[in-house]
Amino acid sequence: MSSKRELITQNIVDTLKNQQTARFGTITRDPGIELQDLAATAFPAVVIESGNEERTSITQGGLTQTRESFMDVNISVWTNSNSRVDTLRNSLIESVEELLDADPTRGGYALDTQLVSVVTNNNETAPYFAMGMTFQIRYLYFKYVILLL
């Protein structure tokens, strides 16, 4: 059985892959893709990675402990255009946020999904320009205590 962390990240991948409103070229979880090797039709290229996480126990004692987690999911988007780069980035940010806002529960695995950060990078080598989005996902999971008698 996959962890909630994995299920949530996979839900984000599936949400972006299985939609018809925004045009993405490549959507992958492999951060090692070589931009120069991608065809022009593979852009915008999207890389999705689970990121940092903070966990807190919200119950104490008993055989089951409830934990609350705030997990970051990092989405990097690369474009290969020299024209209207800022407009394209803004459109992509809006599209990704709207797609993920459609189900903030990530298929029932999460309590909430929020876009918390957008970072643009104009220092890349033209024609490649990047932006990064960080979504914070809040979810609960249960930790079972094993008693040794």
Please write the tens of the pLDDT for every residue from 11-24.
999 999 999 888 99
Q: CA-CA distance, 90 to 93, in Å (whole number)?
A: 5
Do 90 and 57 contact (CB within 8 A), yes or no? Answer: no
Q: CA-CA distance, 2 to 18, in Å (whole number)?
A: 21
- Model's pTM, two decimal places? 0.90
Mind listing the pLDDT tens digit for each residue in 5-53?
Answer: 999 999 999 999 999 888 999 999 988 888 888 898 999 999 999 999 9
Q: Name the band, by pLDDT with cuts 50, 70 and 90, for residue 66.
A: very high
Report the mean per-residue pLDDT for the chain.
Answer: 91
Nearest in space to 73 (alpha carbons), one of 16, 137, 19? 137
Mind listing the pLDDT tens digit for each residue in 128-144?
Answer: 888 999 999 999 998 88
What's the burial of 61, exposed, middle or buried (CB within 10 Å: 0-12/13-18/19+)? exposed
User: Which residues, 6 or more positions from 35, have their beta carbon under 8 angstroms from its beta carbon?
Assistant: 45, 78, 80, 128
Tokens matching residue 91: 């459109």
Helix (H, G, I), strand (E, B) or coil at 113: strand
Q: CA-CA distance, 141 to 109, in Å (whole number)?
A: 9
Q: CA-CA distance, 29 to 25, in Å (whole number)?
A: 14
